[in-house]
Amino acid sequence: MKFRTLGRHTREGGKSVWRNGWMTVSAVGAVTTTLLLVGVFLALMLNLNEIAGNIEDDVEVKVLVELTADEEQVSALENELESIPEVGDLSYSSKEEELDELIDSLGDQGKAFELFEQSNPLNDAFIIEPNDPVEALAIADQAESMDQVEEVDFGEEIVQRLFQFNEYARYIGLGLIVGLVFTAIFLISNTIKITIIARKKEIGIMKLVGATNAFIRWPFFVEGLLLGVLGSIIPIAAVLSGYYYLYYNLQDRIQFDFIQLLPFYPFAFQLAGLILAIGAFIGVWGSVMSVRKFLRV
Amino acid sequence: MIEMKGVYKTYPNGVTALNGIDVHIDQGEFVYVVGPSGAGKSTFTKLMFREEKATKGSVKVNDYNLSTIKERHVPYMRRHVGVVYQDFRLLPRLTVYENVAFALEVIEESPNQIRRRVMDVLDQVRLKNKARFIPDELSGGEQQRVSIARAIVNHPKLLIADEPTGNLDPDTSWEIMHILEEINASGTTVLMATHSQEIVNTIRRRVIAIEDGQIARDEARGEYGYEI
Domain with CATH 3.40.50.300 in chain B: 1-80+156-228
User: Is residue A221 classed as helix, strand or coil in its secondary structure?
Assistant: helix
In angstroms, rounded to a whole number, what is the distance separating the alpha carbons of residues A50 and A56? 10
State the CATH architecture for B1-80+156-228.
Answer: 3-Layer(aba) Sandwich (3.40)
Residue A297, pLDDT > 50, answer no
Judged by CB atoms closer than 8 Å, whether chains meet at A213 and B75 is answered as: yes
CA gap B178, A282 in Å, rounded: 54
Neighbours of B198 (CB within 10 A): 14
- Nearest chain A residue to B84 by CA: give it: A208
The Cα angle at residue B83 between residues B210 and B89, in degrees rounded to 5: 110
Lowest-pLDDT choice from A43-47, A117-121, A201-205, B110-114: A117-121
Label the pairing between strands B158-162 and B81-85: parallel
Q: Please answer whether residues B100 and B119 qualify as being in contact, where contact means their C-beta atoms are separated by less than 8 angstroms.
A: no
Q: How far apart are CA B13 and CA A135, in angstroms?
A: 67
Task: Kindly indicate the confidence band of residue A254, based on its pLDDT and cuts at 50, 70 and 90.
Answer: low
CB contact under 8 A, B83 and A8: no
B215 close to B40: Cβ distance less than 8 angstroms: no
CA distance B226 to chain A (A): 31
Q: Taking CB atoms and an 8 Å limit, are A208 and B83 in contact across chains?
A: yes
Instruction: Please name the residue of chain B whose CA is at the shortest distance from the CA of residue A217.
Output: B106
Choice between A83 and B196, residue whose per-residue pLDDT is larger? B196
Write down the pLDDT at residue A256: 60
pTM score, whole prediction: 0.71
Q: How confident is the model at residue A85 (pLDDT cuts 50, 70, 90)?
A: confident
- Contact assessment for residue A26 and residue A187, using Cβ atoms and an 8 Å cutoff: yes
What's chain A's average pLDDT?
A: 81
pLDDT of residue B183: 96
**How many beta-carbon pairs under 8 angstroms link A with B?**
48
The reported pLDDT for the residue numbered A255 is 57
Amino acid found at A161: R
More confident residue, A94 or A210: A210
Return the closest-CA partner of residue B206 out of B215, B219, B190, B194.
B219
Q: Which domains does chain A have, with CATH numbers?
A: 3-55+160-295 (no CATH), 60-153 (3.30.70.3040)
Residue A162: the pLDDT is 67
Amino acid identity for residue B99 in this structure: N
Q: If you measure CA to CA, which chain B residue comes closest to A215?
A: B106
- CB < 8 Å to B105, chain A: 8
pLDDT digit of tens for each residue in chain B (228 aa)? 899 999 999 999 999 999 999 999 999 999 999 999 888 999 999 999 999 999 999 999 998 999 899 988 999 999 999 999 999 999 988 999 999 999 998 888 899 999 999 999 999 999 999 999 999 999 999 999 999 999 999 999 999 999 999 989 999 999 999 999 999 999 999 999 999 999 999 999 999 999 999 999 999 998 888 865
Measure in Å the smallest separation between the Cα of B78 and chain A Cα atoms: 5
B12-65 per-position pLDDT tens digit: 999 999 999 999 999 999 999 999 988 899 999 999 999 999 999 999 999 899
Predicted pLDDT at A296? 63
